[in-house]
Amino acid sequence: MTAYEIPLSAKPQTFSISLSGVSYRMTLRWNIPAAAWMIDIADASSNPLVGSIPMVTGIDLLEQYAYLGFNGKLVAQTDHDPNAVPTFDNLGSTGHLYFLTS
């Protein structure tokens, strides 16, 4: 399995990204009541595919969306404690989002 880190910073953001050769638009925003980062993924034309995926650890964030043909896993973790959810302040420094391909 090969891991590719998705470069992020500790602020809400929208960007284009290629995952396994497919172009997507990804939006990350901080959900204050849940105290968690949320991920929206759209196709290259900004048509929504999935929305409001909480960035939690210990699971493939895309697993329930396998029918959409994502060719890999999306995994969040934090340095020194892989089970700690990335916080508002540590995203992009010690809180990470990885795309894993086999």
The secondary structure of residue 81, as a DSSP letter, is B
pTM for this model (two decimals): 0.94
CA 73-97-43 angle, 5° bins: 65
61 within 8 A of 53, measured Cβ to Cβ: yes
pLDDT digits (tens, 9 = 90+) for 39-92: 999 999 999 999 999 999 999 999 999 999 999 999 999 999 989 999 999 999
pLDDT per position as a tens digit, 2-40:
999 999 999 999 999 999 999 999 999 999 999 999 999
DSSP H or E run through 16 = strand 13-19
